[in-house]
Structure 1
Amino acid sequence: MKARTLRRHFRESAKSLSRNGWMTFASVSAVTVTLILVGVFFVIMMNLNRVATTIEEDVEIRVHIDLTANQQQRDLLRKEIENIPEVKGVQFSSKKQELQHLIDSMGEEGKAYKLFEQDNPLNDVFIVKTKNPTDTIKVAKQIEKFQYADKVKYGQGKVENIFKSIKVSRNVGLVLIIGLLFTAMFLISNTIKITIIARKNEIEIMRLVGATNAFIRWPFFLEGLWLGLLGSIIPIALVSTAYYYAYGYLQPRLEGNFIQILDYSPFVYQVAFLLVVMGALIGIWGSLMSVRKFLKV
């Protein structure tokens, strides 16, 4: 395409937006409202996913080594665990460390357990992490069969419910986001279609004088792009501002907690980029789908 023709398409698309002021406002408003909903929901879902990932990463298998096992037998058990394909890493925690951990976790009440420092009844422990947290249950059941594994603990009963809840929340979130996007495309397509119907005579005249379908489409393509970009400005500003204050309020209160939200930067810039791309694609798609019916031979 020649540069002069491209400049003409840009000029015509800009003129069209100004000539059809109310329809432009309606289209931009439809994009804006939809992207605000998508942006807010996306921010919530991404932070919920962050929390879910943190919970998954905290899931571990604690293998209590048989009290009668000697060093060679402990090494054999460790090697058997490390040979499981799903295992990411194995960390050893001595019974002395386990007792100290118990004392620290109990606070003031834990001081009573110091009596056991000379005659420690606890087991040495292997702390096992899996490559995929959902493999925890499968790996734990395998380890239970090993000879020198006295007890295998992984939060049985609770872990299954956690994984199930996380899976359901992620699936529901994905379905809702997809649903919002399709709703947006439908609404914007219909809004833009009204604008194009009002200009069907203009399209027919262009076809009668020999204009190609591509030549006719380009101004509408660019018009949809501008509508999408304009519609993304307010959602970006609102979502960025809202998350700035939400982050400033929540972050200090979550300090030291295992639940953490995504850092303001670069997350907000990623959301802004996503909204710009989504707005542009939705606007282009809506315009092209609407003008297509008028270009059929």
Structure 2
Amino acid sequence: MKSRTFRRHIRESLKSLSRNGWMTFASVSAVTITLILVGIFFVIMMNLNKVASTIEEDVEIRVHIDVASNGTDHQTLKNAIEQLPEVKSVRFSSKQKELDNLIKSTGDEGEAFKMFEQDNPLNDVFIVKTKNPADTIKAAKKIENMDYVSKVRYGQGKVEKLFNFIKVSRNVGMVLIVGLLFTAMFLISNTIKITIVARRKEIEIMKLVGATNAFIRWPFFLEGLWLGILGSFIPITVVATIYYNAYEYVAPRLEGNFIEILHYSPFVYQVSALLILMGSCIGVWGSVMSVRKFLKV
């Protein structure tokens, strides 16, 4: 395409926006409202995903070793666990360390446990981490049947509920976002279609005098692009402002905890770029779908 022709398409698309002021306003408003909802849902879902990933990474299997086993048996068991395809790492924790951790975790009440230091009733423990947190249950079931294992603990019952909740939350979030995007495409497509219907005769005349489909389509393609970009400005401002205030309030209160939310920068800039891309794609798709049926003369 010649640069002069492309400049002509840009001028025509911009003129169309100004000539059809109310339709432009309606289309931009549809994009704006939808992207605000999508942006807020996306920010919430990404932070929930961050928290969920942190919690998942904290899930571990505690393998209590049989008290009757010796050092050689410990090494045999460790080798067997490390050979499992799901296992990422195996760390040994002696029964003395387990007792120290118990005393420390219970505070003042833990002083009562010091009486067991001479005759420690706890087991030596292997702390196992899996490559994929979702494989924790599968690995735990395999380890239970190994020799020299007294018992295996991984938060049975709670871990299954946690993984199910995370899976459902992620799926629901994706469905909502996709649903909002398709709603926006439908609204914008119909809004732009009204504008194009008013120019149907113009399109038919251009077709009859020999204009190609591409030549006719380009101004509408660019018009949809401008509508999408314009409609993304307000959502970016709204989402950035809300997240900034939320981050300033929540982040200090989570310091010292193992849970954290996504840092304001660069997360907000990534979301902003995504909203512009979404707006552009929605606008272009709406225009292309609307003009296609009128190109058949």
Query: What's 1:269 paired with?
Result: 269
Query: What's 1:198 paired with?
Result: 198
What amino acid does structure 1 have at the position aligned with 2:173?
G
Query: What's 1:294 paired with?
Result: 294
TM-superposed CA distance for 1:209, in Å, is 1.9
Deviations 1:81-105 (A, max 9, x none): 0000010110111111111111111
Tell me how far apart the structure 2 counterparts of residues 266 and 117 of structure 1 sit (CA, whole Å). 50
Query: What's 2:57 paired with?
Result: 57
* Structure-to-structure mapping, 1:91-130, within 5 angstroms: 91-130=91-130
What runs of 5+ residues in structure 1 fail to find an aligned partner?
none
Tell me how far apart the structure 1 counterparts of residues 294 and 255 of structure 2 sit (CA, whole Å). 59
Which SS does the other structure have where 1:62 is aligned? strand
Query: What's 2:170 paired with?
Result: 170
Which SS does the other structure have where 1:123 is aligned? coil
1:235 is aligned to 2:265: no
Deviations 1:249-287 (A, max 9, x none): 001111122322111111111111110000000000000
Deviations 1:123-155 (A, max 9, x none): 111000111111111111111111111111011
What amino acid does structure 2 have at the position aligned with 1:199?
R
* Structure-to-structure mapping, 1:1-297, within 5 angstroms: 1-297=1-297
What runs of 5+ residues in structure 2 fail to find an aligned partner?
none
Moved over 4 A (4+): none
Of 80-89 and 8-17, deviating more is 8-17
What amino acid does structure 2 have at the position aligned with 1:204?
E
Tell me how far apart the structure 2 counterparts of residues 262 and 107 of structure 1 sit (CA, whole Å). 32
Of 130-139 and 31-40, deviating more is 130-139
Pairs aligned (count): 297
Tell me how far apart the structure 2 counterparts of residues 176 and 24 of structure 1 sit (CA, whole Å). 26
What amino acid does structure 2 have at the position aligned with 1:290?
S
TM-superposed CA distance for 1:111, in Å, is 1.6
Which SS does the other structure have where 1:91 is aligned? strand
Q: State the TM-score, normalized to the length of structure 2.
A: 0.98
Tell me how far apart the structure 2 counterparts of residues 213 and 138 of structure 1 sit (CA, whole Å). 58
